[in-house]
């Protein structure tokens, strides 16, 4: 306990000394969420990263998030506590395979989920997050042909609600995709008074059972304002910490991928620890480094996303 307090104080002291800001995603461990200067989902974090004036950004999230922060702030140092904090969804679209796929659809625009590598972003016309995907897609004329990558679950949910027929890349987040209807229905039988909230990275069968589908911030807003007092949450476990803070007195039950393990803890997000956060601030490594050309090209679709999101009043 005392060691944790000392570590937290040491992080705060270093942060001040180095004029650093700590940005964290809701899937981080609670200790990191509580220590961060700013906590958000992918959309809120990208917006925040676009307006930071500190010298150093410590990104407590995964690699593609830190990479996005670097693309938006090429002159700043961007640190990621553990360089191994990757993403199975971003990994599901290797850049060469994606380039070959894109060539098969020369008259399509490419809308890419932010959970992708910088190389895939370079091949994209506009980026989206789960918090703005519908508005980004709807910003194109109805007859515009679209490739949506890399999340097939998010893509098919958007196809369903917009009536479009976007061509989908066949990728998925292993954490959300693993959640089953059996697990949701079991909880629903035990708690008939609970509402089901789900992230659109879940598969279509699970989404079918949800009373509300939305991004991390969307789900947080929903449980705060909705009248239910109990929720079954089909998403990553980290979100629960903020749900209890935002909606005190309510109860949250996480859909487990499996009875014997907490498989819906994202193993990449959970690689970041207070100790690694301290060490990366102290040693200023691991630091995100990208080619200038990649930064310049990947910034175009990311900034396009931010512009559309601003004009849609989403950020």
Q: Is 242 in the site for ligand 13P (CB under 6 A)?
A: no
23 sits in which H/E element: strand 20-25
Binding residues with ligand 13P: total (CB under 6 A): 12
| Cα distance between residue 60 and residue 67, in whole Å | 12
Binding residue for ligand SF4 (CB under 6 A) from 222, 252, 268, 278?
A: 268
- Where does 139-273 have alpha helices with state H? 152-162, 174-177, 181-190, 204-208, 216-225, 239-246
DSSP bridge pairs for 234: 198
| Cα distance between residue 39 and residue 241, in whole Å | 12
Q: Is 41 in the site for ligand 13P (CB under 6 A)?
A: yes
Name residues whose C-beta falls within 8 Å of residue 227's C-beta, 6 or more positions apart in sequence.
none
Q: Is 92 in the site for ligand 13P (CB under 6 A)?
A: no
Stretch binding ligand SF4 (CB under 6 A), from 31-39, 133-141, 226-234, 266-274:
266-274
- Where does the chain have alpha helices with state H? 2-17, 30-35, 42-49, 63-72, 88-91, 95-103, 118-122, 133-138, 152-162, 174-177, 181-190, 204-208, 216-225, 239-246, 274-283, 292-311
Binding residue for ligand 13P (CB under 6 A) from 68, 124, 130, 309?
A: 130
Binding residue for ligand 13P (CB under 6 A) from 73, 117, 129, 139?
A: 129
Q: Which does 216 bind (CB under 5 to 8 A by kind): ligand SF4, ligand 13P, none?
A: ligand 13P
Binding residue for ligand 13P (CB under 6 A) from 80, 201, 234, 264?
A: 201
Q: Is 173 in the site for ligand SF4 (CB under 6 A)?
A: yes
Q: Is 215 in the site for ligand 13P (CB under 6 A)?
A: yes
Stretch binding ligand 13P (CB under 6 A), from 1-9, 123-131, 155-163, 186-194:
123-131
Q: Is 67 in the site for ligand SF4 (CB under 6 A)?
A: no
Binding residues vs ligand SF4 (CB under 6 A): 62, 87-89, 115, 173-175, 236, 266, 268-269
């Amino acid at each position: 306990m005392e060691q944790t307090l000392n570590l937290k104080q040491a992080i705060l002291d270093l942060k001040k000394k180095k004029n650093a800001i700590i940005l964290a995603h809701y899937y981080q461990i609670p200790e990191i969420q509580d220590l961060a200067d700013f906590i958000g989902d992918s959309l809120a974090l990208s917006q925040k990263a676009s307006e930071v004036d500190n010298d150093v950004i410590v990104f407590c999230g995964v690699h593609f998030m830190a990479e996005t922060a670097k693309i938006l702030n090429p002159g700043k140092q961007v640190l990621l506590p553990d360089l191994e904090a990757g993403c199975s969804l971003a990994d599901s679209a290797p850049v060469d395979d994606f380039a070959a796929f894109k060539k098969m659809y020369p008259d399509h625009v490419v809308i890419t989920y932010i959970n992708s590598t910088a190389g895939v972003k370079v091949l994209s016309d506009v980026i989206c997050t789960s918090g703005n995907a519908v508005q980004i897609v709807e910003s194109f004329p109805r007859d515009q042909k679209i490739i949506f990558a890399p999340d097939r679950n998010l893509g098919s949910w958007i196809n369903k609600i917009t009536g479009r027929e976007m061509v989908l890349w066949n990728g998925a987040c292993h954490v959300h995709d693993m959640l089953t209807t059996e697990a949701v229905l079991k909880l629903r039988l035990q708690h008939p008074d609970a509402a089901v909230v789900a992230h659109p990275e879940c598969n279509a069968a699970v989404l079918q059972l949800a009373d509300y589908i939305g991004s991390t911030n969307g789900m947080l807003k929903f449980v705060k304002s909705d009248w239910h007092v109990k929720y079954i949450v089909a998403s990553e476990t980290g979100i629960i910490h903020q749900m209890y803070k935002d909606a005190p007195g309510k109860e949250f039950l996480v859909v487990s991928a499996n009875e014997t393990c907490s498989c819906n803890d994202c193993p990449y997000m959970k690689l970041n620890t207070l100790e690694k956060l301290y060490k990366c601030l102290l040693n200023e490594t691991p630091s995100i480094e990208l080619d200038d050309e990649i930064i310049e090209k990947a910034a175009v679709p990311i900034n396009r996303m931010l512009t559309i999101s601003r004009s849609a009043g989403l950020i």
